[in-house]
C-alpha cells in the first residue's frame, strides 16, 4: 500500500528550523538578532497552526520590544552602541538590573561629547515625531543649550561653574530619564525573556509531540508495512488457494464428467442387468418346472435303480465268470505273443535268407525322364533305351549310328534299319515314369535288414545329371518327391514304433560327410570345422571304422533327421559356390547307426545304414578336363574304379581286399563285403548324347551285379 505524504511533513522542517532559531535565540539572546528574528517570525505566514498562536504572541511581544528598541534607538541615536550593549547585557542576564553606576558609565562615555559640545540632537525618525522618553531627552538636551564655554573667559570660573552645574543638571536629568528607560527596557526584556522561555517550552513541547508523532508515524508506518506484507502474503496465499481451488474445480469437473459417464454406463448396465434378471427369473421359473419334472424323474429312476441293483447282483456273478475267462485268454495271448516273437525271429531269418538268395550285392537301374528342353527333341521320346521285359529287369540300349563303341553287340532290325543293341540285366530296372515311392518299395526290405542288425550300403552311381541326388535325397520339401534317404528314415521310425510293442527299443545316431578330392569333410559342422579334412580310422581289427571329429548326432525323430539333411544340403551348396559344381564332383555319405535291444527276449542288434550319392562318373579322357577339373576327375575315377576293384575282389574271394586304396572304400569297409548288404542304383540319363557314359555306367553296374560277395553276417 502506497503511503500518502502527510501535510505536516512538509511543515516540519520549517517548524524545526524555527524551533532551532528560537532555541538559538534563547541560548544567545541578542536584541538585534531578536528584533530581526522577531520580524522574520512575524512575517512567516507558513508557520504551523499550532505554532501560530504561540508564535503570534511571541511575535507581538517581540514586535513591541522591537518598537521600543527602535524608539530607544531613535532617542539615543548618538549613543546607540551604548544602549545596544545595555540591552545585550540585559538580554544575556535577564535577572540583572541596570545600575546607576552603569548608567553613570554611560553618562561618562557621553561626557567627552558634552565637554566638546559635539552632542547633537538626535535626528528624528523620518515621518514620525520623537515620542516618549526620547522626545523628553531631546528636549532636555535642547533645553540645556549649547555649551557656552567658548563664550566665557578662563577666569570666569563662576560662569563656567554655572555652565557645568547646568550641564550636570542636564546629565542628571538624562540619567534619571535613562534609568527610567532602563527599567522599562528591563521589564520589556523580562517579558520578552519569559515569552521566549514559554515559546521555548512550547517549542520543546511541540518537538516532543513531533518526535512522538514521528515515532507514532514510524510505528504506524511499520505496522502498515507489516499489514501490507501480511495482506500481500494473504493475497498470494489466497491466489494460491484460488489456483488450487480452480484446479480442484477442474478436477471436480472432470470427475463429474467421468461420474456422469460412469453413471450412464451403470445405468445401462443396470438396465442390462434388469433385463438379464428378468430373463433369469423366467429361466428360474422354467428351471423350477424342470426341477419338478426331474423330481418325478428321480422318483422313477430310484425305482429303476432298485431294479438295477437286483440286476447288478446277477451281473456280478457273470463278471466273476468273465474274469476267469479273461485270465484264461491272457495266458493264451502270452503264448501267442511268445509264438509271434519266435515268428519275428524266424521272419528275420527267412528275410535274410531271401536277401542271400537274391545276392548280397544287388543292382537297380533307374532311367530318369527327359526334362524341360530335352523333351522338345524327338518329341519327348527316348528312342535309344528300351525296356523289353515285363519283369522290369532288362534294359536295351540301341547303338547309335554315329557312336562307335568297341563292344560286341546284339544285331537286330527296327523299322527296316539294322541296329546294334546292348542288353543289360539287373535286379530291377526302373523306367522314367517310376515314382520315388515305387523305387523305395524295392529297397525297403534292405532298410528292414539294417533294423535287424545288418550293415547296409546303398549307392547311387552314374554320370552327372543322371538323377543320383534325385534318387537318394529327392526334394525334401515335397512328400511325393522324397528320395531314398528320407523315406528310409521314415520307414525306420515307423518300424521302430511297431517293434516297441514286441519289446524292442532303439537308439539312432546320424552323420553326414563328403569326400572331395580324396579328402573327408563333415557336412554337419559349420565354420572352420566345415573346412577341416578328416581321416578314417579303424578302431580294432574286425571292428567298425570311424572318423574322429565327425559330427555324430543322436536322432529321435524323422523331423530331426530331415533337419540334419537340410543343413547338410545347405553346407554342400555353400561349398559349391567356392568350388564350381563341387556337389557333382564329390561323394556324399549319409550314415545312420541303429542299436536295438529287446528287453523281453534279451536280443540285441547293431546295424549301420550307408546311403551314398557318388560323384559323377564321367571319364577323364572324354571330358577333356584340365587343372582343378582334371584333379577332381582323377580323384573320382580313382575312388570309383577302386570301388569296382573292391567289389571284384570280394566277388573273387580274394584274400586282400583293397579297401584302403581310396577314402570311400576305406570308410565303407564294414559295409562292403561279407558282413553287409549292398545295393547299387545305376542312374541313366535319357539323353542320346550321353550314350557313351550311359554305356560305361551300365557296364560297371553289370560287373558289380555279377559279383557274389558272400553271406551277410548279422551283428549283435
Ligand atoms: N526320376 C526323375 N524324375 C524327375 N526328374 C529327375 C529324375 N531324376 C533326375 N531328375 C532331375 O534331373 C536333374 C539332375 O538330377 P540330379 O541332380 O539328381 O543328377 P545327379 O546325377 O545327382 O547329378 P550330379 O552328379 O551333378 O549331382 C535334376 O533337376 C533332377 O530333379
Residue 570 is predicted with a pLDDT of 81
| pTM (whole model) above 0.90 | no
Give the residue, 574 or 106, on which the prediction is more confident: 574
pLDDT in tens, 545-598: 889 999 999 999 999 998 998 888 887 765 554 444 566 788 999 999 999 998
Q: How far is the CA of 432 from the centre of ligand 1 (A)?
A: 12
Q: In 435-470, which positions are buried (b, 16+ CB within 10 angstroms) versus exposed (e)? A: ebeebbebbeebbbbbbbbbbbbbbbbbbbbbbbbb
ipTM of the complex: 0.98
Residue 271 is predicted with a pLDDT of 92
Strands 537-538 and 417-425: unpaired
Q: Which domains does the chain have, with CATH numbers?
A: 359-384+434-705 (3.40.850.10)
Q: Which atom of ligand 1 is nearest to the CA of 430?
A: 1
Residue 575 is predicted with a pLDDT of 53
Residue closest by Cα to atom 15 of ligand 1: 467
Binding-site residue positions for ATP? 462-469
Q: Which atom of ligand 1 is nearest to the CA of 366?
A: 1
Ligand 1 within 6 A of 462 CB? Answer: yes
Reported confidence tier of residue 64, pLDDT bands at 50, 70, 90: very low
Residue closest by Cα to atom 10 of ligand 1: 467
Q: What angle do CA 167, 173, 176 make, to 5 degrees?
A: 140
Q: How far is the CA of 364 from the centre of ligand 1 (A)?
A: 16
Q: How far is the CA of 617 from the centre of ligand 1 (A)?
A: 14
Ligand 1 within 6 A of 196 CB? Answer: no
Q: How far is the CA of 639 from the centre of ligand 1 (A)?
A: 22
Residue 712 is predicted with a pLDDT of 52
Q: How far is the CA of 257 from the centre of ligand 1 (A)?
A: 76
Q: Which range, of 141-145, 493-497, 603-607, averages the lowest pLDDT?
A: 141-145
Reported confidence tier of residue 340, pLDDT bands at 50, 70, 90: confident
- The answer on pLDDT for 74 being more than 80 is no
Question: Among 429, 432, 470, which is best to mutate for testing ligand 1, by the most ligand atoms less than 8 A from CB?
Answer: 470
pLDDT in tens, 436-483: 999 999 888 888 888 888 889 999 999 988 999 999 999 988 999 999
Q: Which atom of ligand 1 is nearest to the CA of 464?
A: 25
Distances (CA, A) of 228 to 3, 239, 497, 713: 11, 16, 101, 119
Residue 140 is predicted with a pLDDT of 43
Query: How confident is the model over 12-16, as a mean pLDDT?
Result: 39
pLDDT in tens, 319-334: 999 999 999 999 898 8
Q: How far is the CA of 167 from the centre of ligand 1 (A)?
A: 182
Residue closest by Cα to atom 23 of ligand 1: 465
Ligand 1 within 6 A of 182 CB? Answer: no
Q: How far is the CA of 684 from the centre of ligand 1 (A)?
A: 10
Q: How far is the CA of 465 from the centre of ligand 1 (A)?
A: 5
Residue closest by Cα to atom 31 of ligand 1: 470
Ligand 1 within 6 A of 475 CB? Answer: no
Contact 471, 440 (CB under 8 A): no
Residue closest by Cα to atom 9 of ligand 1: 467
Query: How confident is the model over 628-637, as a mean pLDDT?
Result: 82
Question: Among 431, 463, 469, 618, which is best to mutate for testing ligand 1, by the most ligand atoms less than 8 A from CB?
Answer: 469
- The answer on pLDDT for 143 being more than 60 is no
- The answer on pLDDT for 99 being more than 70 is no
Mean pLDDT (the chain, rounded):
76
| 591 beta partners | 511, 610
Ligand 1 within 6 A of 676 CB? Answer: no
Pick the closest to residue 143 from 110, 125, 119 (CA basis). Answer: 119
Pick the closest to residue 133 from 204, 66, 87, 183 (CA basis). Answer: 183
Contact 329, 321 (CB under 8 A): no
Ligand 1 within 6 A of 658 CB? Answer: no
- The answer on pLDDT for 67 being more than 80 is no
Residue 448 is predicted with a pLDDT of 85
Ligand 1 within 6 A of 587 CB? Answer: no
Q: How many residues does the chain have?
A: 716
Q: Considering only CA atoms, give the Rg of the chain.
A: 78
- The answer on pLDDT for 95 being more than 90 is no
pLDDT in tens, 368-423: 999 887 877 767 788 889 998 888 889 999 876 655 444 444 444 444 444 578 99
Reported confidence tier of residue 157, pLDDT bands at 50, 70, 90: confident
Ligand 1 within 6 A of 436 CB? Answer: no
Amino acid at each position: 500500500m502506497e503511503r500518502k505524504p502527510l501535510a505536516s511533513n512538509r511543515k516540519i522542517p520549517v517548524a524545526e528550523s524555527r524551533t532551532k532559531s528560537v532555541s538559538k535565540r534563547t541560548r544567545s539572546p541578542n536584541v538585534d538578532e531578536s528584533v530581526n528574528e522577531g520580524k522574520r517570525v512575524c512575517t512567516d505566514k507558513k508557520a504551523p497552526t499550532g505554532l501560530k498562536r504561540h508564535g503570534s504572541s511571541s511575535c507581538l511581544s517581540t514586535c513591541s520590544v522591537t518598537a521600543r528598541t527602535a524608539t530607544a534607538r531613535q532617542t539615543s541615536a548618538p549613543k546607540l552602541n551604548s544602549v545596544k550593549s545595555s540591552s545585550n547585557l540585559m538580554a544575556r542576564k535577564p535577572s540583572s538590573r541596570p545600575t546607576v553606576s552603569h548608567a553613570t558609565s554611560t553618562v561618562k562615555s557621553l561626557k567627552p561629547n558634552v565637554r566638546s559640545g559635539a552632542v547633537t540632537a538626535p535626528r528624528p525618525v523620518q515621518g514620525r515625531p520623537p515620542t516618549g522618553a526620547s522626545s523628553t531627552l531631546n528636549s532636555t538636551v535642547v533645553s540645556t543649550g549649547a555649551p557656552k564655554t567658548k563664550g566665557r573667559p578662563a577666569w570666569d570660573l563662576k560662569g563656567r561653574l554655572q555652565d557645568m552645574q547646568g550641564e550636570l543638571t542636564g546629565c542628571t536629568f538624562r540619567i534619571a530619564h535613562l534609568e527610567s528607560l532602563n527599567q522599562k527596557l528591563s521589564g520589556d526584556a523580562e517579558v520578552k525573556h519569559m515569552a521566549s522561555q514559554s515559546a521555548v517550552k512550547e517549542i520543546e513541547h511541540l518537538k516532543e509531540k513531533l518526535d512522538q508523532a514521528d515515532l507514532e508515524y514510524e510505528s504506524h508506518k511499520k505496522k502498515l508495512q507489516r499489514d501490507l506484507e501480511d495482506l500481500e502474503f494473504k493475497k498470494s496465499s489466497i491466489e494460491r488457494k484460488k489456483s488450487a481451488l480452480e484446479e480442484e474445480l477442474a478436477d471436480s469437473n472432470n470427475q463429474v464428467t467421468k461420474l456422469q459417464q460412469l453413471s450412464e454406463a451403470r445405468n445401462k448396465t443396470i438396465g442390462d442387468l434388469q433385463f438379464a434378471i428378468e430373463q433369469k427369473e423366467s429361466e428360474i421359473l422354467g428351471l423350477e418346472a424342470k426341477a419338478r419334472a426331474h423330481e418325478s424323474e428321480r422318483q422313477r429312476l430310484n425305482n429303476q435303480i432298485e431294479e438295477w441293483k437286483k440286476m447288478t447282483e446277477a451281473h456280478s456273478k457273470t463278471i466273476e465268470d468273465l474274469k476267469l475267462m479273461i485270465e484264461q485268454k491272457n495266458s493264451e495271448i502270452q503264448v501267442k505273443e511268445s509264438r509271434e516273437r519266435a515268428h519275428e525271429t524266424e521272419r528275420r531269418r527267412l528275410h535274410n535268407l531271401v536277401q542271400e538268395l537274391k545276392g548280397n550285392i544287388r543292382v537297380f537301374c533307374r532311367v530318369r525322364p527327359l526334362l524341360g528342353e530335352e523333351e522338345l527333341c524327338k518329341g519327348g521320346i527316348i528312342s535309344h533305351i528300351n525296356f523289353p521285359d515285363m519283369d522290369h529287369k532288362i534294359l536295351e540300349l540301341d547303338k547309335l549310328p554315329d557312336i562307335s563303341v568297341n563292344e560286341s553287340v546284339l544285331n537286330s532290325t527296327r523299322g527296316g534299319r539294322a541296329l546294334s543293341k546292348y542288353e543289360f540285366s539287373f535286379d530291377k530296372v526302373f523306367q522314367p515314369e517310376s515314382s520315388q515311392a515305387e523305387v523305395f518299395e524295392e529297397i525297403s526290405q534292405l532298410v528292414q535288414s539294417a533294423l535287424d542288425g545288418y550293415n547296409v550300403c546303398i549307392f547311387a552311381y552314374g554320370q552327372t545329371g543322371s538323377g543320383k541326388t534325385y534318387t537318394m535325397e529327392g526334394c525334401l520339401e515335397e512328400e511325393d518327391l522324397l528320395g531314398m534317404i528320407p523315406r528310409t528314415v521314415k520307414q525306420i521310425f515307423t518300424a521302430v514304433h511297431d517293434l516297441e510293442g514286441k519289446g524292442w527299443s532303439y537308439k539312432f545316431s546320424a552323420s553326414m560327410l563328403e569326400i572331395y578330392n580324396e579328402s573327408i569333410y563333415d557336412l554337419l559342422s559349420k565354420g572352420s570345422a566345415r573346412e577341416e579334412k578328416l581321416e578314417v580310422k579303424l578302431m580294432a581289427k574286425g571292428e567298425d571304422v570311424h572318423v574322429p571329429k565327425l559330427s555324430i548326432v543322436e536322432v529321435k525323430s524323422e523331423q530331426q533327421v530331415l533337419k540334419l539333411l537340410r543343413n547338410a544340403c545347405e553346407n554342400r551348396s555353400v561349398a559349391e559356390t567356392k568350388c564350381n559344381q563341387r556337389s557333382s564332383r564329390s561323394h556324399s555319405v549319409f550314415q545312420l547307426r541303429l542299436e536295438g535291444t529287446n528287453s523281453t527276449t534279451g536280443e540285441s542288434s547293431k546295424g549301420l545304414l550307408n546311403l551314398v550319392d557318388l560323384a559323377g562318373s564321367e571319364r577323364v579322357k572324354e571330358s577333356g578336363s584340365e587343372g582343378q577339373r582334371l584333379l577332381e576327375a582323377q580323384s573320382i575315377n580313382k575312388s570309383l574304379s577302386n570301388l569296382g576293384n573292391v567289389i571284384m575282389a570280394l566277388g573273387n574271394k580274394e584274400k586282400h581286399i583293397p579297401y584302403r586304396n581310396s577314402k570311400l572304400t576305406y570308410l565303407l569297409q564294414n559295409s562292403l563285403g561279407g558282413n553287409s548288404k549292398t545295393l547299387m542304383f545305376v542312374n541313366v540319363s535319357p539323353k542320346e548324347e550321353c550314350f557313351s557314359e550311359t554305356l560305361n555306367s551300365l557296364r560297371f553296374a553289370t560287373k558289380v551285379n555279377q559279383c557274389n560277395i558272400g553271406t551277410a553276417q548279422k551283428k549283435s
